[in-house]
Structure 1
Amino acid sequence: MKKQKQWDLKVADSNQKGPSILEMGKQLLIKAKIGNASEVLELISKGAPFATDWVGTSPLHWAAFNNHVEVSETL
């Protein structure tokens, strides 16, 4: 049986403080889903990627689905 490779998805190096790009993308999904426009804006300004979850749902999908108009406009 072949051993699968393990990939380190963190973009930040070990000397850098703060969350990785991957973690910021996850946080953007969460904050859009719950409707926190100020934190969505902060994450975007810090370079959070416009990532999707495991089924392909984007932060904009979550914001629109949950009727978070301000978050949708921010995105």
Structure 2
Amino acid sequence: MQREPYRLVHSVSSKFREMNHKIGLFGGIFQYAWNNRKVVKNEDDETIFVLVVKRYTTKHEPWNYIRPYEILRKCEK
């Protein structure tokens, strides 16, 4: 469109660093809950996810990164 870029590299990378930090905290809480879950027939990934979101929001701000978490969770480090 013959215009300058809308965002600078620094602004995008700073947003990603912030998001990555929050997703890392959430992932740690999720992994702890997953490892310490009780074996129940009906318990699955979804119910643990709801519990973890509640735990995260009590200690931190509301969880707004569901889609990025789902993408990053399946990627290698």
TM-score after normalising by structure 1: 0.30
The structure richer in helix per residue is: 2
Using structure 2 for the length normalisation, give the TM-score. Answer: 0.29
